[in-house]
Amino acid sequence: MDNSNKSSATKYYVIAWVFGLLFYFLDYVVRSAPAVMIPELSAVFNVSTIGLVSIIGTYYYTYSTCSLIAGIALDRFGARYSLFAGALILGIGCLLFIISSEFAGNTGRLLQGAGCAFAFPGCVYLASKGFSPKSLATAIGFTQCLGMLGGSAGQFVVGPWIERGVDQKLFWIGSGVLTIIVAIGLLLITPNPKAEQQSAQQLHSKGFLSPYKVVFSNLQSWLCGIISGLLFAPTTIFAMTWGVAFFKEDRSFSFHDATIACAMVPMGWVFGCPLLGYLTDKIGKRIPVLIGGAVLMILSLLQLLFLPDLVPAYVSTFMLGVASGAAMIPYSIIKESNPDHVKGSATGAINFITFSVTTLLSPLFSRFFGKTLTGAVDKTSHFQAAGLFWIGGIVIAVLVSLLLKETGRNKRLTPAS
């Protein structure tokens, strides 16, 4: 491919990445929006609140498994058809939510999870094609930033709409139609060069699961997934799932103050993901920024646990969110640690491992700290013990990070251990 054709293809990959960002934004909107319309959806599907929570939770069943499928699809069929299929599935899943049937609700949510599984791996895949290695981490961080904005919009924008009497069916129709339009845009804009077709043919000759044989046989892939999962867990499980209850019960916060404190975590992500991504690209090294972000997470939690009067809780949780942007750095490392022809599968693999880590930690935290929340006699000690559980996980992430091989452009400047 001559330089002019290569430059043109790169430009279209960047444009396709922008469409991918819209897909990922809608992913998080759809993921978080049901939390602010539980009574309305319960009435539509004619189920109890517990039944609706069960329907909403089915999202993660297909999201986790389809993360692996998305990675294979990207490497085998390229970004054009894979992202089109993912966005189309998400759009159909949204439209099914307007049907007054429990079966439609379950089916719709399963399709939403399956479709959303293609969004982030697809964006990372497009970014790796459209951006140079020195700016890849910045692009990935900005991608996650857009996702977090979508998650915030799914609650803090959609919530007031529902309170003002907007029919939730209008939201699902609009989300479905918009997502399908984005799917068509991805199909029309995303390049499908001969290089990708040849790569797909090579993979086909080696077997359907051959990309994952490459990725999962690489120790660096497992290390990246474990680190990312341990750094994501304190924010996704503690702050965004249990946080409001813990602040209310153990710290005697009002519902409003507890909600604000926890909402500052995804807001911190919005700033931290692109900031830390830019920093690691700027210095040309991944591991120092990764460890630095993890250490800042530890310091933020320690202050929140043992010096709560030093700064307001929402400042502490915001800093925790900013620092947890380091969890995205392993997504750059895993792509740089594996061959070009399995980059899509590498992202699918780290998504799967990350989700598996959080899935294992969630019931452990619930058993030891969640179940004792309302009955704890010493509220301060209970809050501190819960926080130390997550600090322990972050410490493990730091130790595992020391086993990673530097993949930044200045890796040769790193002294050999």
In terms of domains, do 256 and 364 share one? yes
Q: Which residue has the higher pLDDT, 352 or 103?
A: 103
Write down the pLDDT at residue 150. Answer: 83
Write down the pLDDT at residue 296. Answer: 97
In terms of domains, do 227 and 87 share one? no
In terms of domains, do 171 and 271 share one? no
In terms of domains, do 186 and 311 share one? no
Residue ending a domain, among 154, 173, 205, is: 205
In terms of domains, do 279 and 372 share one? yes
H/E segment holding residue 163: helix 158-163
Nearest to 208 by CA among 73, 81, 78: 73
CA angle 210, 211, 216 (to 5 degrees): 100
Please list, in sequence order, all residues whose beta carbon lies within 8 angstroms of the beta carbon of residue 6, skipping any fewer than 6 positions away.
none
Contact, 133 vs 336, CB < 8 A?
A: yes
Q: How far is the C-alpha of 253 from the C-alpha of 250, rounded, in Å? A: 8
Write down the pLDDT at residue 400. Answer: 96
In terms of domains, do 58 and 199 share one? yes
pLDDT digits (tens, 9 = 90+) for 262-300: 878 878 888 888 889 889 988 889 999 999 999 999 999
Q: How far is the C-alpha of 355 from the C-alpha of 327, rounded, in Å? A: 12
pLDDT band at 413 (very low <50, low <70, confident <90, very high): very low
Structure tokens at 163: 């309170």
Query: In percent, how much of the chain has pLDDT > 90?
Result: 39
Give burial (CB, 10 Å; 0-12/13-18/19+) of 415.
Answer: exposed
Nearest to 294 by CA among 242, 240, 227: 227
Nearest to 144 by CA among 24, 241, 226: 24
Write down the pLDDT at residue 1. Answer: 47
C-alpha pair distances (Å), 314 with each of 247, 305, 362:
11, 13, 23
CATH classification of the domain holding 259: 1.20.1250.20
Res 4 pLDDT > 60: no
In terms of domains, do 30 and 143 share one? yes
Q: 105-119 burial, b for 16+ CB within 10 Å, e for fewer? A: bbbbbbbbbbbbbbb
Alpha helices, DSSP H, located in 286-402: 287-306, 313-323, 329-336, 343-365, 379-401
Contact, 273 vs 258, CB < 8 A?
A: no
Residue ending a domain, among 158, 190, 205, is: 205
Residue ending a domain, among 174, 205, 236, is: 205
Is 341 a domain residue?
A: yes
In terms of domains, do 107 and 182 share one? yes
Taking the model in full, what pTM does it have?
0.74
pLDDT digits (tens, 9 = 90+) for 353-391: 987 887 788 778 878 887 788 777 899 999 999 999 999
In terms of domains, do 115 and 235 share one? no
Q: Which of 35-49, 70-84, 109-123, 204-218 has the highest mean pLDDT?
A: 109-123
Q: How far is the C-alpha of 231 from the C-alpha of 323, rounded, in Å? A: 9
Structure tokens at 252: 């005697």
Res 241 pLDDT > 70: no
Q: Which of 21-25, 63-67, 77-81, 245-249 has the highest mean pLDDT?
A: 21-25
Contact, 68 vs 352, CB < 8 A?
A: yes
Q: How far is the C-alpha of 140 from the C-alpha of 104, rounded, in Å? A: 34
In terms of domains, do 53 and 153 share one? yes
Q: How far is the C-alpha of 136 from the C-alpha of 114, rounded, in Å? A: 26
- Reduce the DSSP state of residue 284 to 3 states and report it: coil
In terms of domains, do 269 and 385 share one? yes
Q: How far is the C-alpha of 317 from the C-alpha of 266, rounded, in Å? A: 9
Number of domains in the chain: 2
In terms of domains, do 13 and 36 share one? yes
Structure tokens at 192: 């499908």
Structure tokens at 294: 């993890």
φ/ψ of residue 391, rounded to 5: -60, -40
Query: In percent, how much of the chain has pLDDT > 70?
Result: 90
Q: How far is the C-alpha of 97 from the C-alpha of 176, rounded, in Å? A: 9
In the predicted model, what is the mean pLDDT of the chain?
85
Query: Which structural domain, as residue segments, surrounds residue 399?
Result: 209-409
